[in-house]
Structure 1
């Protein structure tokens, strides 16, 4: 049995959807399905009940899941445990930073770096929430700020900030306005951010908008947040982003783009601080995590 087979099994068990698990693993669904069949053949047990629309764990699959998670977490802990055994007195660690982190959170990151400087050299590392969370899980990052929700049983999560979201709209179309309703946006397509960079919350938001009557979509790829702003600036669409003018996300704005609060909708984005539970409880990050929990303990709103 190969470690990859267990990783594939856990991904499918957590998603209960082969296509979603394949995207998470950056592979195609067909070879993933074959690897699961190989594992079932090797174990002599069916792990999933499959139908056209549903995937569920069998009793054998449910029994295997905690065992597989334990094995994978022990293996992924090897690099940091080895570093802990051979580390110098002061170690360099990395804290993940997704795009658009609010200045108030950056202040807390700087305060954390100052507080722990005698024990750790804390450096920031950029990335998407998905990549940063995986980096913490794999032991490459000590901590990360991440857009919630995040599903990873090996990680501890501390919600640290809630940011209200508003409608990003063409300024000329809504000149003089201080708010907008969803009903006024139904004839404009909603431009979803590139799938490879947007947090999981925005997938939920996209679905919610559809249920509330926003049916038209523009989907961009490989353009970044600037591409979204470009489409809105031309008057062809609207999007949703941080409402607080202090948010760095406003730096992606172009001429003819404004952000307005909704009158009949109140979306919000939560940010959390995440770390591996085992590294905090009895590992190399206990002092760092204790300091982080103290500094980030008061929940912020914007």
Structure 2
């Protein structure tokens, strides 16, 4: 049995969806399914019940899950435990930062860096939420800010740090003079999702919610950037959703014919959390840093 087989099993067990788990593992669904079958054959137990619509854990799968997680936690902790033992003096810690974080949240990161500067040097590392969370799990990052919900790994602990109101990004010439907009008024426009929508659980859920509320049209932009979405909105073909606060970095991507309006009948909010590994914070190398973070982020920001 290889460790990769256990990682594949845990990923599918967390998602209960082979396609989603494969995307998280950066592989195709078919080879993932074959690896799970190989593991089942080696263990002599079926781990999942599968049909065309649902994936569920069998009794054997339920029993294996905590064992597999425990093994992976021990393996993933080897790197930081070794570093803790051999690295003298001031330690550099990488903290994950997703795109578009609010300046008030960034200011609190600066406060954290200042509070622990005698023993640690905090450096920021950019990326998408799921990749950043994976990097915390395997020890490459010490902590990360992440758009919630973020993963379901019980080895991680998360602290809510900010809640931001979201609004509709719409063509200005069509909604000029308006103070808000109703979802029904957007039904003729296509929804252009955030560039992070494919890999972000919150935006995947938001897309489904919009569909259930009557927004059926979609524009698939692939790897388009935020300014690319702004171009589509400015042309009058679509609307999108982004932070309402004018101080948000996302506001920098607006073009002349683009504005952000609050919804009159829909109240979406984007939640951000700070995540770390429990074992590193409990008598581990991050005990001091996490204690400082808990104090600095004790009152979640809310716009």
Shorter-chain TM-score bucket reads over 0.9
Aligned to 1:282, what secondary structure does the other structure show? coil
How many Å apart are 1:198 and its aligned residue? 5.6
Partner of 2:78: 78
Partner of 1:130: 130
Aligned to 1:259, what secondary structure does the other structure show? strand
Partner of 1:186: 187
Name the CA distance, whole Å, in 2 between partners of 1:85 and 1:17. 39
Q: How does 1:43-58 map to 2 (within 5 A)?
A: 43-58=43-58
For the Cα contact (< 8 Å) 1:163–1:301, is it kept in 2? yes
How many Å apart are 1:143 and its aligned residue? 0.9
Partner of 1:168: 169
After superposition, what is the alpha-carbon deviation per residue over 1:179-235, rounded to whole angstroms, capped at 9, x for unaligned?
111111111111112357663111111111111111111111111212111100111
Partner of 2:209: 208
Distance 1:299 1:195, change over 3 A: closer
Partner of 1:156: 157
Partner of 1:143: 143
* TM, length-normalised to structure 1: 0.98
Partner of 1:2: 2
For the Cα contact (< 8 Å) 1:233–1:257, is it kept in 2? yes
Partner of 2:244: 243
Name the CA distance, whole Å, in 1 between partners of 2:256 and 2:227. 12
Aligned to 1:88, what secondary structure does the other structure show? coil
How many Å apart are 1:26 and its aligned residue? 0.8
For the Cα contact (< 8 Å) 2:167–2:241, is it kept in 1? yes
Give the CA RMSD over aligned residues. Answer: 1.1
Partner of 2:265: 264
After superposition, what is the alpha-carbon deviation per residue over 1:90-141, rounded to whole angstroms, capped at 9, x for unaligned?
1000111100010000110001111110010011111111111111111111
Query: Post-superposition, which runs of at least 4 consecutive aligned residues in structure 1 deviate over 6 A?
Result: none
Name the CA distance, whole Å, in 1 between partners of 2:217 and 2:208. 12
Partner of 2:301: 300
Distance 1:197 1:96, change over 3 A: farther
Mapped pair 1:64 → 2:64: yes
For the Cα contact (< 8 Å) 1:193–1:219, is it kept in 2? no
How many Å apart are 1:152 and its aligned residue? 2.1
Name the CA distance, whole Å, in 2 between partners of 1:50 and 1:180. 43
Aligned to 1:274, what secondary structure does the other structure show? strand
Partner of 2:223: 222
Structure 2: give runs of 5+ residues left out of the alignment: none
* TM, length-normalised to structure 2: 0.98
How many Å apart are 1:44 and its aligned residue? 0.8
Partner of 2:92: 92
Structure 1: give runs of 5+ residues left out of the alignment: none
For the Cα contact (< 8 Å) 2:13–2:57, is it kept in 1? yes
Name the CA distance, whole Å, in 2 between partners of 1:220 and 1:154. 35
For the Cα contact (< 8 Å) 1:243–1:259, is it kept in 2? yes
